[in-house]
Amino acid sequence: MKTELDIPAVAVFLFFFALVTVMGFVASRWRRPKTLASLDEWGLGGRQFGTWITWFLVGGDFYTAYTVIAVPALVYSVGAYGFFALPYTILVYPIVFMVMPRLWQVAKDNGYVTAADVVHGRYGSRMLEAAVAITGVVATMPYIALQLIGMATAVKALGFEGELPLIAAFVVLALYTYSSGLRAPALIAFVKDIMIYIAVIAAVSVIPGKLGGYAAVFDAADQAFKAKGSGSILLQPGQYVAYATLALGSALAAFMYPHTLTGIFASKSATTIRKNAVLLPAYTLMLGLLALLGYMGHAAKLKLASNNDVVPALFQTLFPSWFAGFAFAAIAIGALVPAAVMSIGAANLFTRNFWKAYVNPQVDSAGEAAVAKIASLVVKVGALLVIIYLPTQFALDLQLLGGLWILQTLPALIFGLFTRWFTAPALLTGWVVGLFGGTYLAWTDGLKPLHMLSIGSFQATVYVGLIALVANIVVAMLVNLVVPKPVVTAEAAGT
């Protein structure tokens, strides 16, 4: 990949970055409420986003800059196995269609802002609420760091050295998020997604033509995997269970993250969510096209220092500089939207489930908004420090564990929407077993997402997060038999 400063690419990049920066600050006047000094307005956009805004917002924070970088990099590295992201993003939307409208209604009726609010309202347990809130914050931090990695990859491809450009982009992100709250990423998401679609459509239309067609692309990838002795353009029989469980576990975890739930809670109605469950799979098509760029990297015979460089290197090698700058801007802006929503989601959790629960129970709406703004800055600073001072692999490892951890909040959050059979002590015990048991398995496997499961003569490689979730649920059910009396609060009567 080129390392010298590419002036035309830098000029185009700066133009679009400046454009979304202005939009980020203007967003505070977009659908302007009487005041932004409330968590409902700053952190959830007034709960008034309709179908199209929700489509861009949820799609914008679900398909992140790191997705644009990481999915093609994984396909470039291991082949067909990297396409697990496609069935994952197909499985997730029926789950959204069936579950999220119910969750939205409960949150709307009771003024809940976070998943931990819902859990506290249902079970009346501060300990279970804290467990869900801590898991959400800890799982989100490395996710934000990964967005900054995606942004850093794009900035490096422009020829910039050092951390200064990344810090400057972070400051811009922090300031307009502080000023405009969720309205900023919601407005910028329109520009971000249009740019990503243009870059991807251009890539899958132009690059194969320059490389001899798709047949030549697949043949080159096949030859490259055979030459290095690992990877394949077709899924191998021994990978079937691992592939399926990774897709299912990722789908179940996807809408447990604070940032994806923030998009759900900000929706105007349950119907808006159902419409989005139908429309959002359009992003899966884009993801499939993006993944093919991994195979194109082999056909283009790129020389890469890191697999993460495959997409930037393709644009640098096969497109004029100005369009490469456009694509890099799309990737960088693709980091801003999810990073902003993630920091807001984490800030909402801190404000409602730590500050208001333990520090200042009498805090008013304006006080909540003020605390959340500061918390969102602290979260982003933490993610930036991780990228600057710790090895990138550290953020990658934590993000892997983050998926495992956030999956363990599913029983407490989702089961309570449909049944009152489970008790808080049972769910808390299940959470402890799933979280720490799953972490132990991942740690002993060298922080790998898959674990060789052996039960008698049965052996299969399974996603460790799904193993931990099953253990979580089984333990919760067993404990529930010992502690059979459900604790139902007055608030829970409405759930």
Residue among 11, 468, 51 at smallest CA distance from 249: 468
pLDDT digits (tens, 9 = 90+) for 108-150: 999 999 999 999 999 999 999 999 999 999 888 888 888 888 8
The region, left, alpha or beta by phi > 0 then psi within -120 to 50, assigned to residue 301 is left
| Cβ density class 439-454: b for 16+ within 10 Å, e for less | bebbeeeeeebbbebe
Q: Is the pLDDT of residue 488 over 80?
A: no
Q: Is the pLDDT of residue 183 over 70?
A: yes
pLDDT digits (tens, 9 = 90+) for 268-293: 999 999 999 999 888 888 888 889 99
> Residue 113: its pLDDT value, please?
92
> Residue 493: its pLDDT value, please?
46
Tell me the average pLDDT across 448-463.
Answer: 86
**CA dihedral (317, 323, 326, 330) positive or negative:** negative
Residue among 371, 312, 367, 311 at smallest CA distance from 346: 371
Q: Which of 165-174, 343-352, 384-393, 427-436 has the highest mean pLDDT?
A: 427-436
Tell me the average pLDDT across 454-476.
Answer: 92
> Residue 487: its pLDDT value, please?
52
What is d(CA 354, CA 373) in angstroms, rounded to the nearest whole number?
15
Residue 243, both tokens: 């592939």
pTM across the whole model: 0.88
Tell me the average pLDDT across 53-79.
Answer: 83
> Residue 126: its pLDDT value, please?
94
Amino acid, single-letter form, for residue 50:
G
Whether the Cβ atoms of residue 370 and residue 356 lie closer than 8 Å to each other: no
> Residue 45: its pLDDT value, please?
85
Percent of the chain with pLDDT over 90: 43
pLDDT digits (tens, 9 = 90+) for 318-350: 999 999 999 999 988 888 888 888 899 999 999
